[in-house]
Amino acid sequence: MPLATTRRAGLVDQVIDQMRGAISSGEWPVGRRIPPEPELVQALGVGRNTVREAVRALSHAGLLEVRQGDGTFVRATSEISGAVRRLCGNELREVLQVRRTLEVEGARLAASHRTEDDLRKLTALLAERDAAMAAKDWERMIEHDAAFHGLLVQASHNTLLAELYRGLNETVRASITATVDEDLDPPVSHMGLLDAVRDRDPIRAAAEASGFLEDILQRHGY
């Protein structure tokens, strides 16, 4: 495990930073159990109490979940995502409403501020998403769909908005998974949204982003 041995000053903060880095980088994936306490003590060169305090702090922040008798698991990749998961939990309606707020503004700004490189990447992602949908490869479709929405918000070139949305990665993916019903109508096309961004039409882009999320909310009785 590439965790550096800590210095004596600020041991808990250093351990927190290193563990947070392992989480945010994906070295410790969401849903997986982190190394047991003895391994962390040896890798970090600190005492058990220091490791326990760091784990406690990250648990309070929502990044880790301690399951008595089972170990400690990664719950989220950032404090923002952890807070959203605590506040919304499995409440799909609230997650979709938050997505609508961020994605509509992200689409509006992306239509005004996207670059040609943004457009190329969005076009490629949407093509991969639609190909996966045509092949009924739902796992791959969900992966590319989530990536498309994330890249669209990044194309707004609003750093704070993009960071807020990045903190929702796990929650967004879970909401997409929950709303894809392969036995019913296929997921909505995002070609109209992409066209609006390509045409630099912020009003149409915002309407397209709002429309498909409104459809999902209504389909699920919200």
| pTM exceeds 0.85 for this model | no
Residue whose tokens read 């039409």: 201
What is the chain's mean pLDDT, rounded? 86
pLDDT digits (tens, 9 = 90+) for 14-63: 999 999 999 888 899 888 899 999 999 999 889 999 999 999 999 988 88
The helix or strand, by DSSP H or E, that contains position 67, with its residue range, turns out to be strand 64-67
Burial 153-189, CB ≥16 within 10 A → b, else e: bbbbebeebbebbbbbbbbbbbbbeebbeeeeeebee
**More confidently predicted of 47 and 83:** 47
Question: What is the pLDDT averaged over residues 69-87?
Answer: 75
Q: Which of 45-49, 70-74, 118-122 is most confident?
A: 118-122
Structural domains for the chain = 11-75 (1.10.10.10), 81-219 (1.20.120.530)
**More confidently predicted of 26 and 154:** 154
Q: What is the pLDDT of residue 8?
A: 47
What is the DSSP secondary structure assignment for residue 77, as one 8-state letter?
A: S
Distance (Å, whole) CA 21 – CA 99: 26
